[in-house]
Amino acid sequence: MSSSQRRPTVAKHLLAFAAACLCTNLAAAAAQDWSPAPAAPSQEATLHQAFDYAFPLVAMGRLRARMLGADARPGASQLNTWLHQHKLSGPDDRWVTTPNNDTAYSTLWLDLRQGPVALSVPDMAGRYYSLAFLDMATNNFELLGRRANGTRGGTFVVVGPDTTQPLPPNAQVIRAPANDVLVLARILVNGDADMPAVTALQDQFKVQPLGAGKTPPLWQAAPPVEQSPQAFVDMANLMLARNPAPRYEDALIQRLASVGICGAACRWDALSPEVKALWAQQLPAMLASLKGGLSATGATGATGAKSEGWSYSKDNLGDFGTDYAYRAQVALGGLLALKTVEAMYPVSFVDQQQRKLSGAHRYRLRLPAGALPVNGFWSLSMYEVEPDGKLFFTPNPIGRYAIGDRTAGLKAGPDGAIDIVMQRDAPADPAQRANWLPTPAGDFALVLRAYEPKAELRNGRVRVPAVERLD
């Protein structure tokens, strides 16, 4: 239970005394049986809670500002317009941390203040795809795709919380918890030769605003995107003002207001010098505490566990509830992650002896036949670790940033096992070169993506083997 949910507890039993002294003794017993009220959190503790709560809002606000721009400075995308990536992600793609090299991305920003929006998706003819609908706290409040509803085409109407207008009859309605929505599509690409077919599918995605109102301005004020405590607080409040917190968070928001996070009623300029100084002092350490992203779980359940050097996402990945610390960790290291029912992301930063993975050494990951039970597909991605904890692809001689069950020429042994070789230089053995995943020069991390994972992978009965260091 979060600190915002704690309540004083009342003892269930009071001592019974003689009737003659019932009143006096009952009053004394009642006074003794109430547990002491929990001490109010310190200002520093409240600030840390505010940071965890606000970090995903700030990350999404900055992403929105980077992609849409401002009214006087348009970005690469526009409201109510799909922006398609007509290639697989590589080292130059740094718009979001931990990109994949398996699917083409398409993004759509909606502002439902003007009314509902109808989205049309083409027939995918059995191809894997997913359509994630995200709020500004990074929760997947709806998820469509091959697993959820098949691959036939369809039209869906996205409705904001304030909509009162009639909807089309028999509409497939998706109700958003707030007006700002990011729709993120992922479509499987089977190599460069398959990209034209995927591009043709992307071009069939349609958007039709159904509202009668005018398109609202992108921002009511210039979005604060610079890296500073003031910009962090102001962006958090701007996003909360645009997308108010749910009612169950009222008590939490009232507490966080004391350190400047509450929405329209809070702003940096109104904070005391002491609170401003505390933000400036604590922000670097709080940012550092988020490093690890998808692996920073600290949990021990079927998901959220650590095994053989791999960290597994928690059950609430992508739909975090009140797990604000985990939500913030993922926003740094795995922003826009899917729910575990759609995809799992085991992450490793270490070898079988818990030594940090480094391009100075050679490694092998042996995957026995059937080691990764999925209904979709799997891939192993190689990332350089940035100083701030973010993960990105790095250039290599063969342009291979991930390897998986669809990699052309992948070699399996007589027993069906696959040995993935990871090192800086190309292996001399041709069979090993076929299974070579080049490493960066410095520290690196591995993310093994399992799309449409089967139950035995989700519940922990199957685990990924340890990464072996060979030198």
pLDDT digits (tens, 9 = 90+) for 247-278: 999 999 999 999 999 999 999 999 999 999 99
Cα(61)–Cα(117) distance, rounded to whole angstroms?
Answer: 21
pLDDT at 13: 35
Domain boundary among 288, 311, 336: 288
Q: Which of the pair, 89 or 216, is modelled with greater confidence?
A: 89
Considering the domain architecture, whether residues 275 and 255 belong to the same structural domain is answered as yes
* Domain count across the chain: 4
**Does some domain include residue 38?**
no
Instruction: Tell which phi-psi region holds residue 227, choosing left (phi > 0), alpha (psi between -120 and 50) or beta.
Output: beta
Considering the domain architecture, whether residues 417 and 433 belong to the same structural domain is answered as yes
Cα(52)–Cα(259) distance, rounded to whole angstroms?
Answer: 13
Considering the domain architecture, whether residues 242 and 203 belong to the same structural domain is answered as no
Cα(326)–Cα(298) distance, rounded to whole angstroms?
Answer: 9
Considering the domain architecture, whether residues 174 and 298 belong to the same structural domain is answered as no
Q: Which of the pair, 458 or 295, is modelled with greater confidence?
A: 458
pLDDT at 38: 56
pLDDT at 327: 96
Please give the C-alpha separations between residue 349 and each of 233, 328, 384, in angstroms, as whole numbers.
Answer: 32, 19, 10
Contacts of 281 (CB under 8 A, 6+ apart): none
Dihedral (Cα; 143, 148, 150, 153), 10-degree rounding = -30
**Does some domain include residue 74?**
no
Considering the domain architecture, whether residues 311 and 454 belong to the same structural domain is answered as yes
CATH number of the domain at 303, please.
2.60.120.600
Give residue for tokens 């109102």.
Answer: 213
Q: Which of the pair, 25 or 463, is modelled with greater confidence?
A: 463
The answer on pLDDT for 136 being more than 70 is yes
Domain boundary among 239, 258, 288: 288
Considering the domain architecture, whether residues 316 and 446 belong to the same structural domain is answered as yes
- What's the chain's average pLDDT? 89
Mean pLDDT to the nearest integer, 450-455: 97
Contacts of 50 (CB under 8 A, 6+ apart): 256, 259, 260, 261
Phi, psi of 367 (to 5 degrees): -110, 105
Cα(290)–Cα(43) distance, rounded to whole angstroms?
Answer: 20
Domain boundary among 158, 185, 209: 209
pLDDT in tens, 293-320: 666 544 333 445 789 999 999 999 999 9
**Does some domain include residue 72?**
no
**Does some domain include residue 69?**
no
pLDDT at 296: 52
pLDDT in tens, 160-178: 999 888 898 889 999 999 9
CB 310 within 8 A of CB 448: yes
Considering the domain architecture, whether residues 388 and 349 belong to the same structural domain is answered as yes
**Does some domain include residue 346?**
yes
Considering the domain architecture, whether residues 181 and 99 belong to the same structural domain is answered as yes
Cα(134)–Cα(336) distance, rounded to whole angstroms?
Answer: 8
Q: Determine the structural domain holding residue 263 and report its residue range.
A: 43-62+219-288
Considering the domain architecture, whether residues 275 and 183 belong to the same structural domain is answered as no
pLDDT in tens, 22-59: 333 333 333 344 444 456 789 999 999 999 999 999 99
The answer on pLDDT for 2 being more than 60 is no
Instruction: Tell which phi-psi region holds residue 182, choosing left (phi > 0), alpha (psi between -120 and 50) or beta.
Output: beta
**Does some domain include residue 157?**
yes
Amino acid in position 41:
P
**Does some domain include residue 75?**
no
**Does some domain include residue 57?**
yes
Bridge partners, 306 (sequence order): 311
The answer on pLDDT for 420 being more than 80 is yes
Mean pLDDT to the nearest integer, 141-152: 97
The answer on pLDDT for 12 being more than 70 is no
pLDDT band at 211 (very low <50, low <70, confident <90, very high): confident
Bridge partners, 213 (sequence order): none
Lowest mean pLDDT among 17-26, 47-56, 84-93, 147-156: 17-26
Considering the domain architecture, whether residues 100 and 161 belong to the same structural domain is answered as yes
Mean pLDDT to the nearest integer, 130-158: 97
Cα(451)–Cα(244) distance, rounded to whole angstroms?
Answer: 33
Tokens standing for 413? 């042994």
Amino acid in position 392:
F
pLDDT at 25: 37
CATH number of the domain at 93, please.
2.60.40.1610
Considering the domain architecture, whether residues 190 and 91 belong to the same structural domain is answered as yes
262 CB burial (10 A radius; 0-12, 13-18, 19+): buried
Strand 306-307 to 206-209 pairing: unpaired
Contacts of 399 (CB under 8 A, 6+ apart): 90
Considering the domain architecture, whether residues 246 and 280 belong to the same structural domain is answered as yes
pLDDT at 279: 98
pLDDT at 90: 95
